[in-house]
């Protein structure tokens, strides 16, 4: 008769295993063997776990306690977030992880039952590089881990009768979280006037050489410190530089009643902030359409821009692209945003948050969607979208002489990666880096975040 016992179960799986096998099974299997031998197995042993079985593309692991299971899973995924980890074939290997505690049946060295099945289903639902944990396991692990957890709500899992309440692991360093809170509390909001009489809100935080952030889509100087799309990179840059940010006209704390809203005005407003901050020359941090604004400003005023970091940028807006589908989407998105921007949950804003930062926690996306309603009005959103969709700076790119770091996620659903490549192809002095991610802007929960942060900070340090 099989014995039964309570166990904490960790299920691991290699992201994209079948696809990578097509590129060469021998190299992949050799790398995975090294990964499990040199990283996974030692960590499991340190946390008193036992590898039940290796499955080629994954592993089933048993722990005697919920706390040990949680610590072991976090340790494994944290090591695989290192920018230079050696497990490449040639792309970086990523794991998904699922954790649950439950009753299991024991048959020799093997274990079976709902505890195992639920852990496996949670693993399948986890983001690449992420960990999904059942609330049952979290409750048993205790309050010491509360700061590491984000609520993800109820999940219906295949083959499991009842929905499972799920949480995800927060990989943000506590020191970084504290710095972010401090920046939000200590920043001073200032105002300056454009030559057409618009009041722009701006602020500066941090010490060191200056970096100017161009506005990215919509924003709010106060609320952006909890925005999963921009808070991580802004915090990181502000820890090493004097970061100057501002809200674009029509949104945030800047004037909402501007008569003129054009791409040229966005470029002029960027120079207004350079003047207000007393900057002769500085690098620019640019996300989304801010990349086109920054590039155009650099072409016009090469004496004022030392370099540009571009994230999820696009030189051609949807309405100007060749594909009729892109043109249709541009019109549909504008109409939906104008009509449904102020809807209650679930709203169009929730959909936008899901598209922009899909790997951020549900809590973070929900807060971001809520904050968006305070960033811009439905009417201004329609005007804003018109400008963004009509961007076309292809003829300007060859005039941008400053060094540019063009960063783009391969799975970006807001602006496809070919727009990033188009940017880099047209810039005379550009370096293009693709990241295996689905995020338009990189949240620090993304396993590619440490590599992206390293690349961006190194580039800024070289081009002050």
pTM of the model: 0.92
Q: Provide the pLDDT for residue 439.
A: 96
* Residue 91: pLDDT over 50: yes
Same domain assignment for residues 105 and 181? no
Task: Tell me the two tokens of residue 332.
Answer: 């549909």
Same domain assignment for residues 137 and 214? no
Instruction: Describe the crossing of helices 324-340 and 348-356 by its angle, rounded to 10 degrees.
Output: 130
The rounded distance, in Å, linking the Cα atoms of 310 and 287 is: 6
* Residue 277: pLDDT over 90: yes
Task: Tell me the two tokens of residue 167.
Answer: 């949480």
pLDDT bucket at 297, cuts 50 / 70 / 90: very high
pLDDT bucket at 1, cuts 50 / 70 / 90: very low
For residue 81, the domain's CATH number is 3.30.70.1230
For residue 357, the domain's CATH number is 3.40.50.1820
Task: Tell me the two tokens of residue 418.
Answer: 């070919």
* Residue 290: pLDDT over 80: yes
Q: Provide the pLDDT for residue 300.
A: 97
Q: Provide the pLDDT for residue 427.
A: 98
User: What value does the mean pLDDT take over residues 150-163?
Assistant: 89
Same domain assignment for residues 136 and 199? no
The rounded distance, in Å, linking the Cα atoms of 389 and 316 is: 8
Alpha helices of 239-278 — where are they, by DSSP H?
263-276
Same domain assignment for residues 234 and 346? yes
Task: Tell me the two tokens of residue 304.
Answer: 């004022």
Computed over every residue of the chain, the mean pLDDT equals 93
**What pLDDT digit, counting tens, does each position of 423-447 carry?**
999 999 999 999 999 999 999 999 9
The rounded distance, in Å, linking the Cα atoms of 366 and 402 is: 38
For residue 152, which of 358, 5, 455, 433 has the smallest C-alpha distance?
358
**Residue 451 belongs to what domain range?**
174-462
Q: Provide the pLDDT for residue 346.
A: 72
Q: Provide the pLDDT for residue 324.
A: 81
Same domain assignment for residues 197 and 151? no
* Residue 122: pLDDT over 50: yes
Same domain assignment for residues 281 and 192? yes
Which residues fall within 8 angstroms of residue 12, CB to CB, at 6 or more apart? Answer: 40, 58, 59, 60, 61, 76, 95, 96, 97, 123
Same domain assignment for residues 127 and 232? no
* Residue 333: pLDDT over 80: no
**In contact, 441 and 311? CB cutoff 8 Å:** yes
User: What value does the mean pLDDT take over residues 161-179?
Assistant: 91
Identify the bridge partners of residue 309 per DSSP, sorted by sequence position: 285, 405
Domain stop point among 149, 169, 189: 169
Q: Provide the pLDDT for residue 55.
A: 82
For residue 49, which of 18, 22, 74 has the smallest C-alpha distance?
74
Q: Which of 93-102, 105-114, 439-448, 449-458 has the lowest mean pLDDT?
A: 105-114
**What pLDDT digit, counting tens, does each position of 343-352 carry?**
887 788 998 9
The rounded distance, in Å, linking the Cα atoms of 287 and 311 is: 5
Which residues fall within 8 angstroms of residue 385, CB to CB, at 6 or more apart? Answer: 330, 333, 334, 337, 338
Percent pLDDT > 70 in the chain is 100
* Residue 22: pLDDT over 80: yes
Same domain assignment for residues 35 and 164? yes
Domain stop point among 119, 143, 169: 169
3 state SS of 197: coil
């Amino acid at each position: 008769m099989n014995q039964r016992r309570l166990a904490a179960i960790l299920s691991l799986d290699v992201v994209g295993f079948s696809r990578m096998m097509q590129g060469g099974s021998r190299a992949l299997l050799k790398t995975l063997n090294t990964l499990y031998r040199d990283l996974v197995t030692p960590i499991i042993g340190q946390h008193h776990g036992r590898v039940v079985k290796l499955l080629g593309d994954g592993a089933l692991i048993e722990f005697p306690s919920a706390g040990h299971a949680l610590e072991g899973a976090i340790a494994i995924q944290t090591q695989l977030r290192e920018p230079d980890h050696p497990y490449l074939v040639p792309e970086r290997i990523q794991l998904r992880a699922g954790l649950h505690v439950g009753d299991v049946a024991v048959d020799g060295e093997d274990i079976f039952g709902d505890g195992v099945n639920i852990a496996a289903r949670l693993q399948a639902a986890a983001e690449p590089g992420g960990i999904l944990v059942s609330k049952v396991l979290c409750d048993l692990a205790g309050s010491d881990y509360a700061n590491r957890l984000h609520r993800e709500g109820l999940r219906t899992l295949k083959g499991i009768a009842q929905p499972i309440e799920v949480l995800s692991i927060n990989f943000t360093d506590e020191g970084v979280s504290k710095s972010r809170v401090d920046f939000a509390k200590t920043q001073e909001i200032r105002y300056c006037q454009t030559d057409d009489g618009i009041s722009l809100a701006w602020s500066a935080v941090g010490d060191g050489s200056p970096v100017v952030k161009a506005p990215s889509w919509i924003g709010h100087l106060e609320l952006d410190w909890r925005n999963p799309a921009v808070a991580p990179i802004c915090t990181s840059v502000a820890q090493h530089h004097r970061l100057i940010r501002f809200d674009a006209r029509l949104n945030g704390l800047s004037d909402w009643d501007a008569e003129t809203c054009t791409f040229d005005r966005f470029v002029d407003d960027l120079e207004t902030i350079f003047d207000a901050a007393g900057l002769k020359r500085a690098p620019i941090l640019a996300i989304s359409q801010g990349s086109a604004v920054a590039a155009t400003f650099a072409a016009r005023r090469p004496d004022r821009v030392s370099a540009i970091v571009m994230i999820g940028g696009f030189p051609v807006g949807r309405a100007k692209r060749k594909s009729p589908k892109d043109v249709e989407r541009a019109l549909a998105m504008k109409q939906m945003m104008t009509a449904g921007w102020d809807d209650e949950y679930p709203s169009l804003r929730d959909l936008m948050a899901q598209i922009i930062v899909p790997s951020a926690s549900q809590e973070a996306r929900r807060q971001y969607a809520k904050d968006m309603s305070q960033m811009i009005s439905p009417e201004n959103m329609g005007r804003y979208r018109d400008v963004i969709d009509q961007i076309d700076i292809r003829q300007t790119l060859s005039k941008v002489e400053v060094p540019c770091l063009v960063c783009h996620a391969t799975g970006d659903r807001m602006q496809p990666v070919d727009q990033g490549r188009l940017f880099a192809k047209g810039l005379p002095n550009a370096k293009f880096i693709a990241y295996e991610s689905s995020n338009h802007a990189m949240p620090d929960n993304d396993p590619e975040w440490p590599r992206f942060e390293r690349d961006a900070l190194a580039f800024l340090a070289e081009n002050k």
